[in-house]
């Protein structure tokens, strides 16, 4: 590995192998630039597989450019540069948006009782709904793709549900026929695209692979941001609010209709196979189709 550092008016170079320096730090030509260039080749004596996965590196480089608005990265003559950061990110992943992305950002600082230094947290959120089906989320902590989410995603989802439900109630969105409609978090997340990116001075992960964040101090600030700023956004953008509410209500109705259809099919099949239906909720339906392998035990009691 070769490390070239440009700082203090000069270019500095040092070589490494197997984790140790093989040359002294050498002072090179004068320069007004700053930065670091690292050139390396995987050592087959250390790594079992020295294959360089270009597609994965490219994806990681592009994510870094999205997460650091204005940063310019060149990879294999391909330039990644996004002045709008997460907004550019969500526009690229959601090719059938129902409206322009919603972008929120905030900061939070505090000093824990057991520490003397300040914990600093920064967070960015971009989201919108799509004609595409599913719940699509992308989460990051300090530039690391936390593919299993964590407390930052949990906080966003909770606040999203709280805020939309509050808006629906406060503004009498449901009709008389829909008054008893049960809306779940699943209904609210249907067709949703979201990106949640956090920067934390002391991040905590559930494993060494860093695929899930566990910092509890992230939840409060994100929920507060969503409950306040997103709710105000809904009030100030009635056209978008109407689209979101319509999407949520349709999702809820579709879920209930699918559940009803499933129950009807199960009841019909149960009758055809001489199964006892558990309408009272005291017995579990038998799932075997061979009656010779099933039995019903009736126990007398209060």
Distance set, CA 294 to CA 27, 160, 275, 280, 282 (Å)? 84, 47, 10, 21, 18
The residue written with tokens 């990051």 in the block is: 140
For the chain, give the number of residues: 302
- Residue 122 reports pLDDT greater than 90: yes
Which whole number is the average pLDDT over 224-246?
97
Q: Kindly indicate the confidence band of residue 262, based on its pLDDT and cuts at 50, 70 and 90.
A: confident
Determine the pLDDT at residue 14: 97
pLDDT per residue over 181-227, tens digit each? 999 999 999 999 999 999 999 999 998 899 999 999 999 999 999 99
Which alpha helices (H) appear in 81-184, and where do they start and end?
86-93, 151-170
| Statement: residue 277 has pLDDT above 90 | no
| pLDDT score recorded for residue 167 | 97
Checking if the pLDDT of 21 tops 90, the result is yes
d(CA 193, CA 85): 15
pLDDT value at position 269? 72
Mean pLDDT score across all residues of the chain? 90
Higher pLDDT among residues 76 and 270, named by residue: 76
Segment 17-24 shows an average pLDDT of 93
For residue 143, give the nearest of 65, 35, 47 by alpha carbon.
65
Domains, in order of start, for the chain: 1-51 (no CATH), 86-259 (3.30.230.10), 262-287 (no CATH)
Per the CB < 8 A criterion, the answer to whether 278 and 285 are in contact is yes
Q: State what percent of residues in the chain have pLDDT above 70.
A: 93
pLDDT for 265 equals 79
**Residue 130: per-residue pLDDT:** 96
Give the span between the Cα atoms of 105 and 71, in whole angstroms.
18
N- to C-terminal Cα separation, the chain: 78
pLDDT band at 127 (very low <50, low <70, confident <90, very high): very high
**Furthest CA-CA distance within the chain:** 95
At 232 the pLDDT is 97
Cα 256 vs. chain centroid, distance in angstroms?
26
> Nearest-CA neighbor of 94 among 64, 142, 126?
126
Q: What is the pLDDT of residues 58-91, one digit of tens each?
A: 999 999 999 999 999 999 889 999 999 999 999 9
pLDDT in tens, 141-186: 999 999 999 999 999 999 999 999 999 999 999 999 998 899 999 9
pLDDT of 282 > 60? The answer is no
Q: Which residue carries 């009736």 as its tokens?
A: 298
pTM as predicted: 0.80
Note the pLDDT of residue 261. 85
Q: What is the pLDDT of residue 116?
A: 82
Q: Any idea what the Cα angle at residue 267 is, between residues 248 and 271, rounded to 5°?
A: 170
What does the alpha-carbon distance between residue 25 and residue 200 come to, in Å, rounded to a whole number? Answer: 33
What confidence score (pLDDT) does residue 64 get? 95
């Amino acid at each position: 590995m070769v490390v070239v550092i440009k700082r203090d008016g000069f270019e500095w170079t040092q070589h490494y192998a197997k984790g140790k320096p093989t040359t002294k730090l050498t002072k090179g030509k004068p320069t007004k630039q700053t930065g670091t260039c690292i050139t390396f080749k995987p050592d087959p004596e250390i790594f079992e597989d020295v294959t360089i996965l270009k597609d994965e590196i490219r994806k990681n480089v592009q994510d870094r450019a999205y997460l650091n608005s204005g940063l310019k990265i060149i990879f294999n003559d391909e330039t990644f540069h996004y002045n709008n950061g997460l907004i550019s990110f969500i526009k690229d992943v959601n090719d059938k948006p129902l409206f322009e992305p919603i972008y929120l950002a905030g900061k939070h600082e505090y000093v824990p009782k057991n520490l003397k230094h300040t914990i600093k947290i920064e967070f960015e959120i971009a989201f919108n709904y799509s004609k595409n089906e599913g719940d699509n989320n992308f989460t990051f902590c300090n530039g690391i793709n936390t593919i299993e989410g964590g407390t930052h995603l949990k906080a966003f989802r909770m606040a999203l549900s709280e805020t939309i439900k509050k808006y629906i109630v406060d503004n009498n969105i449901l009709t008389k026929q829909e008054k008893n409609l049960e809306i779940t978090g699943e209904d609210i997340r249907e067709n949703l695209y979201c990106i949640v990116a956090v920067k934390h001075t002391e991040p905590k992960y559930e494993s060494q692979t860093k695929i899930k964040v566990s910092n509890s101090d992230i939840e409060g600030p994100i929920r507060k941001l969503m409950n306040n700023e997103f709710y105000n956004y809904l009030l100030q953008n009635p056209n978008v609010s109407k689209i979101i509410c319509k999407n949520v209500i349709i999702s809820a109705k579709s879920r209930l209709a699918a559940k009803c259809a499933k129950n009807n099919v199960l009841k019909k099949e149960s009758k055809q196979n001489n199964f006892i239906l558990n309408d009272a909720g005291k017995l579990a339906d038998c799932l075997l189709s061979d009656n010779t392998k099933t039995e019903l035990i009736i126990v007398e009691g209060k």
